[in-house]
Structure 1
Amino acid sequence: MFSPRFAARAAAAALMAASALASAAAPARAAELIMFEEHGCMWCARWNEEVGDAYHLTAEGRRAPLVRRDIHDGPPEGVTLSIRPGFTPTFVLVENGLEVGRIEGYPGEDFFWPMLNALLARLPAGADG
């Protein structure tokens, strides 16, 4: 028979291997901000001018990196939305592939940041990107 010490080590190794396999099968996805846009959208262009170039440099941009999608292409693979976006721009915050909330339209820089921070506050603690 095996010694109790060997059995404990074997059990720990088996748990670590099972955990690694489970993690590989269902990888956790960090928060993302999906911007649904389309060519010719003047409000998308305004967001790009006022926010877009600096977004990735902000705390918000690090917590929820921007993913751009054409509105006609639908969500990225593995992302479930509550409803399909109806107009551009629509900003959808997702965590682990599920919608957390959205901002429909672009209300201007002064309103965008507080609205985004309200969405980010809905993320679980430690859900930093």
Structure 2
Amino acid sequence: MRNSVIRRVLVGLVVGFSCLPATHGAQAGELVMFERPGCVYCRRFEQDVLPIYGRTDEGQRAPLRLVDLSDGVPADMALAAPVRFAPTFVLVDHGREIGRITGYASDEAFWGLLGALTDKLMPDRP
């Protein structure tokens, strides 16, 4: 239990610091990663992608938020369908689901799928 709490705090710090440049100004898009404790594919994503996510174009357009799947859907978003598997990455724009990636196979597959999703984001208006 204690290791799980420590891991979530450390992951939160990495996500927070990696997304700092993206927090200036209003963000229309957000990538929400639904995860579960003990999820091997969630850990692989955290090792492969998380350290650089906030420095990428996609990370700038859609900062990452981690949500424990057992906590349910955050109140500030509306999903097109329930999330049943971890990890599931849901791209949200102004609180509404734009699309999702279910599962994590590799960083190459993730970046390709995410690029197609972030192309659907509306540009921020002044």
Count of aligned residue pairs for this structure pair? 100
- 1-side partners of 2:34 and 2:54: how far apart? 17
TM-score normalized with structure 2 length: 0.75
Percent identity, please. Answer: 45
Structure 1: where are the runs of 5+ without partners?
1-27
**Aligned pairs (5 A) from 1:76-95:** 76-95=74-93
**1:73 Cα shift?**
1.0
- 1-side partners of 2:107 and 2:119: how far apart? 19
Q: What amino acid maps onto 1:94 in structure 2? A: V
3-state DSSP of counterpart to 2:108: helix
**Bigger-Rg structure (1/2):** 1
In structure 1, the residue matched to 2:50 is 52
**Aligned pairs (5 A) from 1:1-129:** 30-124=28-122, 126-127=123-124
Q: What amino acid maps onto 1:127 in structure 2? A: D
3-state DSSP of counterpart to 1:45: helix
- 2-side partners of 1:83 and 1:112: how far apart? 20
TM-score normalized with structure 1 length: 0.73
Residues 32-70 of structure 1, C-alpha deviations (whole Å, 9 max, x = no match): 000000110000000001001111111111100000000
Q: What amino acid maps onto 2:124 in structure 1? A: A
Q: What amino acid maps onto 1:72 in structure 2? A: S
Task: List structure 1 segments (4+ residues) > 6 angstroms apart after TM superposition.
Answer: none
Query: Aligned-residue CA RMSD in angstroms?
Result: 1.5
